[in-house]
C-alpha cells in the first residue's frame, strides 16, 4: 500500500485526507472509497486518460483508492493528481507519505489548479500541518505568498512522476515570498499598509462631526451608525472608512485572500480590509451562511477582520437584525444543520446607515416631513434596544450647506490611525479597543477620580446598561489614544458620551 496527503474543506477549514492505494491481482476494476463526491469519482476517467496519454500502460489489476478518514465527506478535483501518481508509481518502493499533492488533471495529463486550492493550503499552513507540496505550476504565484512551505510546481503528470521518483534530489520550485507593501515592526510583528486611497475623505465637504466619529471608529474598530437625510453623505463616508483602517499583519492578509478565494474571487494579497455590503433584500441564509447539506459561509463570515456595511439599515428584516446581535457580541457565527455544524470567525466592524424617518426629511430644515408619528415610531422600532446597545457610536449627520468645505484627506486620517495603532501596541495591547474584554478594560481603560464621577452621573442620567458603560470606556480609550494619552481624561469621556444614542 502507498499513500500521499491531500485535503478537503470542512466548513472553511481544511481537513487532511490521506489518499491510499492498493493494486492487487484479480478481475480488473477501479474503485474509490471514503465518502467521495461526484467530482472525485469522476477522477477515475481523468486519471485513466492522463496516464494513457503519457505512454503509461494502465495496470490490469484490481485498483482500490481509499480516502481516509472514511467518515468525512470529501469533495473537489484536487485529488486527481494524487490518485494518478499512486497508480503510476505503485512499482516503486519509496515512501511518499510526507508529501501533499494537489492538482486537477486534464485528459492530456496537464495539471490544473482549482478554486479550492488556495484556501485549502492556507488553512493547512495556519494549522502547521503542511511543509512541502506538489502543486500546479500555474498556482505558484499566489501560493508562494503562504509562508513556511516548500512548493514544487508541475505542469504535467509526467513531471510529477519524475519528481517523486527522484524526491531526495528534488529542490523547491519556489520558496515563500513576502508581501511587497510598506510596513512597520512592533515586538517582532510586521504591520503592512498601503497609501492608495480609491475613495478619499477630501471629497467629503462639511460633516465634521461624522468625520471625527469615523476616525474614532477606524482607530478602535468601533461599530457605528450614521443617521441623516438622503444625500447628506452617509454612504459616501462609509465607503471611505475602509481605506483608513489600521494596518494588517501577514496572517490577516493571507486570511483575507482565503476569504476572497472562498467568495470565488482572485486573491489580491493587499493590506486592505474587506468590506461586505449586502442588500437589504438579502436572505438570512446569504448573510449568515447556511445550506441543507453543507453550511456555506455568508456575508458575516466574509467580513471577518473587515467591515460589514448595512445601508438603509431599518429595511433589513427583523430576523436578520436580531440574529446579527450574536456575532456583534461574540465575534463568531455558529451554523447548525442536520448534516453539519460549523463555526466561523466574524470579528468585523459593523457600519449602518439610515434615514431619520421613512420619507427621510425629518431632520431637514428646508423640506417638510410627510410621515406621521406612528410611521416614524414603526420605522425606528425596527431597530431593537438590544441591537442598538451593541453599537459604540451613533452619529446624527449635519444638514448640507452650500458653504461646506473639505478638511482632512484620507492620507491625513490614515496617518492618525497608524499613530493611534502604534501607541496602543506599545502599551502592550493585542486587540482593538472595541474588542477588549472586561479584564482588559480594567487594565487599559484607566479613569481618574473626576472621570469616574462623570461616568457615574451619565449612568444615572441616561440609564446606561452594563454593556453601554463598557462601550463608553472603550470609545474613551480610543479618543485618548488619538491624543497619545495613557489616562482617559474628562474631555475624552465627554466626547465618548456624546456618541451614545439618547
- pLDDT for 292 equals 62
Strands 62-68 and 13-24, bridge-based pairing: antiparallel
- Core vs surface per residue 1-30: b (16+ CB within 10 A) or e: ebbbbbbbbebbbbbbbebbbebeeeeeeb
- pLDDT for 297 equals 86
- pLDDT for 175 equals 65
Check whether 321 has a pLDDT greater than 80: yes
Number of Cβ within a 10 Å radius of residue 406: 12
Query: What residues pair up with 332 in beta bridges, in sequence order?
Result: 345
- Express as a percent the part of the chain with pLDDT over 70: 98
pLDDT tens for each residue of 430-477: 999 999 999 999 999 998 889 999 999 999 988 889 999 999 999 999
Q: Where in the chain is the domain with CATH 3.40.50.300?
A: 189-402
Report which of 160, 157, 158, 154 is spatially closest to residue 173, judged by C-alpha positions: 154
Check whether 72 has a pLDDT greater than 90: no
Residue 294 banded pLDDT, cuts 50, 70, 90? low
Q: How many CA atoms lie within 13 A of 171 on its CB side?
A: 0
- pLDDT for 221 equals 96
Check whether 11 has a pLDDT greater than 80: no
pLDDT tens for each residue of 226-269: 999 998 999 999 999 999 999 999 889 988 988 888 888 888 88
Largest CA distance in the chain: 89
Distances (CA, A) of 361 to 40, 237, 338, 403: 58, 20, 47, 21
pLDDT tens for each residue of 168-210: 888 888 766 667 889 999 988 999 999 899 999 999 999 999 9
Report which of 193, 333, 340, 166 is spatially closest to residue 252, judged by C-alpha positions: 193
Return the ∠ at Cα 343 (arms to 338 and 346), rounded to 5°.
140
Give 389-407 as a DSSP string: TT-SEEEEPPPP-TT----
Residue 163, all three cell numbers? 519528481
Strands 275-276 and 341-345, bridge-based pairing: unpaired
Distances (CA, A) of 174 to 99, 140, 463: 16, 8, 61
What distance in Å separates the CA atoms of residue 103 and residue 83, rounded to the nearest whole number? 10
What end-to-end distance do the CA atoms of the chain give, in Å? 70
- Domain 2-165, what fold? Ribosomal Protein S5; domain 2 (3.30.230)
Residue 86 burial class via C-beta count within 10 angstroms: exposed 0-12, middle 13-18, buried 19 and up? buried
Residue 441, all three cell numbers? 478594560
pLDDT tens for each residue of 211-233: 999 999 999 999 999 999 998 99
pLDDT tens for each residue of 113-152: 988 898 999 899 888 899 999 999 999 988 888 888 899 9
Contact 274, 263 (CB under 8 A): no
- pLDDT for 300 equals 94
- DSSP tag of 331: S
- pLDDT for 172 equals 87
Check whether 12 has a pLDDT greater than 90: no
The dihedrals phi and psi of 131, each to the nearest 5 degrees, come to -125, -30
Range scoring the smallest mean pLDDT among 244-248, 295-299, 301-305: 295-299
- DSSP tag of 307: E
Q: Where in the chain is the domain with CATH 3.30.230.10?
A: 2-165
CATH number, domain 189-402, options 3.30.70.100, 3.40.50.300, 3.40.1790.10, 3.30.70.2190: 3.40.50.300
H-type alpha helices, 263-398: 284-288, 299-302, 318-323, 325-330, 373-380, 385-388
Report which of 89, 87, 85 is spatially closest to residue 103, judged by C-alpha positions: 85
- pLDDT for 364 equals 87
- pLDDT for 177 equals 65
Quick one: which H or E segment has residue 66? Answer: strand 62-68
Amino acid at each position: 500500500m502507498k499513500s500521499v496527503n491531500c485535503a478537503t474543506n470542512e466548513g472553511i477549514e481544511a481537513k487532511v485526507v490521506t489518499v491510499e492505494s492498493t493494486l492487487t491481482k484479480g478481475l480488473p476494476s477501479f474503485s474509490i472509497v471514503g465518502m467521495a463526491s461526484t467530482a472525485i469519482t469522476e477522477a477515475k476517467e481523468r486519471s485513466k486518460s492522463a496516464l494513457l496519454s503519457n505512454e503509461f500502460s494502465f495496470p490490469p489489476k484490481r485498483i482500490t483508492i481509499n480516502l481516509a478518514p472514511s467518515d468525512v465527506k470529501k469533495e473537489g478535483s484536487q485529488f486527481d493528481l494524487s490518485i494518478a501518481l499512486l497508480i503510476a508509481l505503485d512499482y516503486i518502493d519509496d515512501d511518499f507519505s510526507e508529501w501533499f499533492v494537489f492538482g486537477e488533471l486534464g485528459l492530456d495529463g496537464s495539471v490544473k489548479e482549482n478554486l479550492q486550492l488556495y484556501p485549502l493550503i492556507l488553512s493547512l499552513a495556519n494549522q502547521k500541518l503542511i511543509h512541502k507540496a506538489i502543486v500546479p505550476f500555474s498556482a505558484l504565484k499566489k501560493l508562494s505568498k503562504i509562508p513556511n512551505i516548500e512548493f514544487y510546481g508541475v505542469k504535467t503528470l509526467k513531471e510529477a512522476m519524475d519528481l517523486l521518483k527522484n524526491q531526495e534530489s528534488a529542490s523547491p520550485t519556489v520558496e515563500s515570498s513576502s508581501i511587497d507593501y510598506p510596513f512597520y515592526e512592533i515586538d517582532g510583528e510586521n504591520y503592512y499598509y498601503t497609501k492608495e486611497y480609491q475613495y478619499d475623505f477630501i471629497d467629503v465637504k462639511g460633516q465634521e462631526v461624522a468625520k471625527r466619529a469615523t476616525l474614532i471608529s477606524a482607530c478602535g474598530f468601533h461599530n457605528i451608525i450614521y443617521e441623516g437625510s438622503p444625500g447628506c453623505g452617509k454612504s459616501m463616508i462609509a465607503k471611505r472608512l475602509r481605506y483608513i483602517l489600521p494596518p494588517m499583519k501577514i496572517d490577516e492578509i493571507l486570511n483575507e485572500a482565503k476569504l476572497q478565494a472562498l467568495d470565488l474571487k482572485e486573491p489580491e494579497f493587499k493590506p486592505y480590509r474587506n468590506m461586505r455590503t449586502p442588500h437589504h433584500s438579502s436572505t438570512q441564509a446569504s448573510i449568515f451562511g447556511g445550506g441543507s447539506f453543507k453550511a456555506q459561509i455568508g456575508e458575516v463570515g466574509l467580513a471577518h477582520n473587515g467591515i460589514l456595511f448595512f445601508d438603509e439599515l431599518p429595511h433589513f428584516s427583523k430576523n436578520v437584525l436580531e440574529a446579527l446581535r450574536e456575532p456583534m457580541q461574540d465575534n463568531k457565527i455558529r451554523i447548525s444543520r442536520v448534516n453539519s455544524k460549523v463555526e466561523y470567525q466574524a470579528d468585523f466592524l459593523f457600519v449602518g446607515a439610515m434615514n431619520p424617518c421613512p420619507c427621510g426629511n425629518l431632520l431637514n430644515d428646508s423640506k417638510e416631513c410627510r410621515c406621521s408619528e406612528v410611521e416614524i415610531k414603526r420605522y425606528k422600532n425596527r431597530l431593537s434596544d438590544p441591537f442598538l446597545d451593541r453599537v459604540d457610536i451613533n452619529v446624527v449627520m449635519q444638514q448640507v450647506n452650500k458653504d461646506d468645505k473639505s478638511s482632512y484627506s484620507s492620507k491625513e486620517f490614515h496617518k492618525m490611525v497608524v499613530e493611534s495603532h502604534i501607541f496602543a501596541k506599545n502599551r502592550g495591547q493585542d486587540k482593538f479597543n472595541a474588542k477588549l474584554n472586561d479584564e482588559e478594560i480594567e487594565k487599559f481603560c484607566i479613569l481618574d477620580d473626576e472621570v469616574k464621577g462623570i461616568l457615574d452621573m451619565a449612568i444615572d442620567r441616561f440609564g446606561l446598561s452594563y454593556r453601554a458603560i463598557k462601550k463608553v470606556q472603550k470609545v474613551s480609550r480610543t479618543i485618548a489614544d488619538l491624543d497619545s494619552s495613557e489616562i482617559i481624561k474628562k474631555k475624552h469621556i465627554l466626547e465618548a458620551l456624546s456618541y451614545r444614542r439618547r
